[in-house]
Structure 1
Amino acid sequence: MRVVVQRARQAKVTVDGKVTGAIEHGLMLLVGLTHEDTVKDLEYCAKKVANLRIFEDEKGKMNLSIKEVGGSILSISQFTLYGETKKGNRPSFIEAARPEVAEPLYHQFNQILRETYDIQVETGIFGAMMDVSFTNNGPVTLIVES
Structure 2
Amino acid sequence: MEVFETILHELKGSFSEEFSLIPGYRVQVSAGHGSLNPDQLEPTRHLAFRRKWLKYRGFNEKDLAIVWAKGDSMEPTIHNNDTLVVHLGRNKPADGHIYIFRNGDELFVKRYQSMLGSWRLISDNSFYSDLDIPKDDQHQFDVVGQVILIAKDLGD
Q: TM-score range by the shorter chain?
A: under 0.3
Q: Specify which structure has the bigger relative contact order, considering alpha-carbon pairs within 8 angstroms and separated by 6 or more residues.
A: 1
* TM-score, length of structure 2 as denominator length: 0.23
